[in-house]
Amino acid sequence: MTILVAERVSRNFGGIRAIDDLSFALKEGEIVALIGPNGAGKTTLVNLLTGVLRPSSGHIRFEGQDVTAQRPFEAARRGLARTFQIVQPFPKMTVLENVAAAALFGGKQESVAAAMAMAREQLEFTGLTQFSERSAAALTLAGRKRLELAKSMAMNPKVLMLDEVNAGLNGSEIDGALRLIRQIADRGVTILVIEHLMKVVLSLAQRVLVLHHGQLIAEGSANEIVRNPRVIEAYLGEKFARRFTAEAAHG
């Protein structure tokens, strides 16, 4: 069943069209990777889907409802959650308090006590319980990335958008993050993951969307995408795309 739809969405910044007549849909429970070169419009798209920005044209529908004009807190309370590429927890608050704030203001918890209970549950889920009373600023980068996931899960998401959640992590930390993302998907959460690491895309995504200059240039399985000439050209340039295609044709 389709849960989130973008219909001919565009976003202009002055004379620059960051998102250009983009349409796609997400189905309940799937993991979809959103890839593309730097500046392709990936984070802008997530900002449009979560109400941080409003489309210049087009429509966004969530569970059949037009949410094009929603504000971020409305998106969060509907079940559209996201992490941020640059991780910035509240540094003077504890890890537990950071997650409780997300549960209280974004997750529709009716009391501080309920928010704290939800926060403890998500810290256990993400493996951060032992750090619950520490300052969020004291966490390692990998810990702060997990904190972002805990905050997002405390909001009871139906769709979770992960913006470069593996950036800056080492191999073992990435493996741990992938396990956690799969566990989130196993709970029925639809996941849209912005990712540069093809290892992650190939091992995680059931479907891949490719953005280039704000346009959707390809869509398909990970194996199909890595062999798509338009995708290769977008990443490597026309000259290397021709060489790659010729070499592939000759085995």
Pairing of strands 16-27, 2-13: antiparallel
The per-residue b/e assignment along 154-183, b for 16 or more CB within 10 angstroms, e otherwise, is bbbbbbbbbbbbbbebeeebbebbbebbee
- pTM higher than 0.85: yes
pLDDT band at 100 (very low <50, low <70, confident <90, very high): very high
**Alpha-carbon span 78 to 69, nearest angstrom:** 13
Confidence of residue 201 (pLDDT cuts 50, 70, 90): confident
- Give the whole-angstrom CA distance, residue 70 versus residue 75: 6
d(CA 180, CA 173): 11
Phi, psi (rounded to 5 degrees) for 92:
-90, 0
Whole-number pLDDT of residue 172? 92
pLDDT tens by residue, 22-47:
999 999 999 999 998 888 999 999 99
pLDDT at 78: 94
What is the DSSP-derived secondary structure letter of residue 135? Answer: B
- Domains, the chain, in order of start with CATH, read 2-79+159-249 (3.40.50.300), 90-156 (no CATH)
- Of residues 235 and 41, more confidence is placed in 41
111-143 per-position pLDDT tens digit:
999 999 999 999 999 999 999 999 999 999 999
